[in-house]
Chain A
């Protein structure tokens, strides 16, 4: 299995600071082979420090892949970090956010400037966007921005969260968006709806670890009324395809 949405380090919540080793133990418990992570510290507090710590984590562990967090409050700094970390072997993309931690939408000028750099210099990179604000502007903004950068692959983290029924039809209109299933509300039919609306080849597994355990999200997949073939695509094969595309792009193939 492949988890395309997890975090290490600490959130401002009553949870311990999570290390890469904590994540690897969870992966072993659940049979997850590879997990793609971003730094909670980078998102909520200090992008420079958090991204640097994440780089050390992924360099030590070959089952981890990294997303560099691009903070739109400082475009120059974000561009510098994107260039630095996407040049490292185990970084696969960029994490972007539009909620309270950054206070501006994905379609803002600063995010677009950062994405322009990514598109020009790292067109193979994945863009994991926090599409979980329970606000139609959040997922509509992702669809709009994905349309501006057709060369990039976007992952709709949480696929609209509680608004998944509204979000999925909008997200499905952009061929370069895949839906990532994690959400703290394990609402029945979310996964069935995603498979039906996006197509099974455009739905990927994510947990949002440590906020949501991998076991909690695997329970959702286990209960979903979709076929074993579709579950295999969600849990592993679709993500492997995205990671292969990243590797091929990085190698210039």
Chain B
């Protein structure tokens, strides 16, 4: 996904993402919009048909997830069959995401779940148990026990692998998944199978 779309103009950025994915087939295109702007521009088309997911960035754009434009974004993405990926930053965020998800028929992928910097794991489990369409990306899961806890409480099918690139060192996330007590099949699912199923993809090995 284009960083231009995150920081400046999501229409231009989304077009850049699509062009890159056409040149490089291993790139799965994710669109982005900025909820602060999208709903202020009447008649703007989303043009999301060629994308596999929608990413939004409250952390980089400075809006809260307990925010009506975000809830409308989740509904709009659900109408197009796209999961929405969004970062949890503080206690209460996942709870608000659960409310937004309950108002839609869509799916959410929550990033940023960690236990040491911001204790979000208990909240992820509490909300996730009642929200089967809420998934959790694992790049900030910083120890094996927490990975096993999330898999045990929510089901391994609810975890999707991420690295956080270009903002994070990627080997950290891989090390925790590699060393945790999940089976080989479960790790394979987290590394790709769950995300493929969520995004309706048939590509890759």
Contact = CB atoms under 8 A, between A and B. Distances in A.
Given A13-B119, A14-B121, A219-B171, A188 B166 contact: yes
B130 interface: no
Contacts of B165: 188
Given A29-B179, A185-B168, A216 B143 contact: yes
Contacts of B174: 219
Contacts of A222: 169, 171
B26 interface: no
B142 A213 contact: yes
B140 interface: yes
B122 interface: yes
A208 B116 contact: yes
A217 B106 CA distance: 35
Contact of B143 (A213, A218, A220, A223): A213
Nearest to A223: B169
User: Most chain-A Cβ atoms within 10 A of its Cβ — which of B115, B142, B145, B176?
Assistant: B142
Contacts of B176: 213, 215-216
Contact of A187 (B142, B143, B168): B168
Interface residues of B, number: 31
Contact of B169 (A29, A184, A186): A186
Contacts of A213: 142-144, 175-176, 179
User: Most chain-A Cβ atoms within 10 A of its Cβ — which of B116, B139, B173?
Assistant: B116
27 contacts: A13-B115, A14-B115, A14-B122, A14-B125, A15-B115, A15-B145, A15-B146, A184-B140, A185-B140, A186-B139, A186-B173, A210-B143, A211-B142, A212-B116, A212-B142, A213-B142, A213-B143, A213-B179, A215-B176, A216-B172, A216-B176, A219-B171, A219-B174, A220-B171, A220-B172, A222-B171, A223-B172
Interface of A: 13-16, 29, 161-162, 183-188, 208-213, 215-220, 222-224
